[in-house]
Amino acid sequence: MDPGHSVSMAKSNLMDRVANDLAKGHTHPAKQRLHSLIAAHPTDLDLRRQLAEVYRQTGDLVEAGRWSYLDEAADPVEILAFERAYPSPAGRRAALRWPANALPPTDFVRRRLAELPPPRTIAAQAQRMRLSIRLNWMRLSAAAVLCGLAAIGLYAVVEQLVR
């Protein structure tokens, strides 16, 4: 059996479950299933639109804006809510969970993603963390030296006062 066939069957099965959940008014499991599908198919704009619609139904403008951000027909109020919740372009890019090496399927998505910085690579994040640890270690060392000098100075002052 073709592996793509089983993937599309799994996706179809989950979409049937989403439709069933929504028909019963169960938005929480529908959102969970859609999040799982988007994790597996992060460039599927239809899945993103469907998740945005579920959030729209529950009144969550930020999440509706997040998942419709790459949709040309997105509600500007929802987009503004998302942009306010994620004021930094890097934070917005991370929240979109769009793969760094994925080709945008439309010109609109390409332009929208071009406005946001590319996601950080794991190597760059590790380098920043090492630098941060090194700087923190240097600060801790400097603080220890200063505390030692302060203790010596305090001892000298007390010794002078006792004499």
pLDDT of the residue at 125: 56
Mean of pLDDT values over 78-87: 97
- Alpha carbon distance 39, 41 (integer Å): 6
Domain coverage including residue 52: 3-119
- Alpha carbon distance 74, 31 (integer Å): 19
Please write the tens of the pLDDT for every residue from 105-120.
999 999 999 999 887 6
- 70 with 135, same domain: the answer is no
Q: Place 4 in a pLDDT band, splitting at 50, 70 and 90.
A: low
pLDDT of the residue at 30: 95
Dihedral in degrees, nearest 10, Cα atoms 51, 53, 58, 64: 70
Split into its structural domains, the chain has a count of 2
- The chain-wide mean pLDDT, for the chain, equals 86
- 115 with 131, same domain: the answer is no
Question: Residue 58 corresponds to which amino acid?
Answer: T
- 24 with 65, same domain: the answer is yes
Please write the tens of the pLDDT for every residue from 107-162.
999 999 999 988 765 455 566 667 677 767 777 777 778 878 888 888 888 888 88
- 51 with 101, same domain: the answer is yes
Which CATH number goes with the domain that contains 51?
A: 1.25.40
- 44 with 59, same domain: the answer is yes
- 55 with 129, same domain: the answer is no
Contact indicator for 116, 95 with CB cutoff of 8 Å: no
- 79 with 11, same domain: the answer is yes
Closest CA to 67 of 35, 40, 19: 35
pLDDT of the residue at 137: 72
Q: Place 62 in a pLDDT band, splitting at 50, 70 and 90.
A: very high
Residue with tokens 């100075």: 153
Check whether 18 has a pLDDT greater than 70. yes
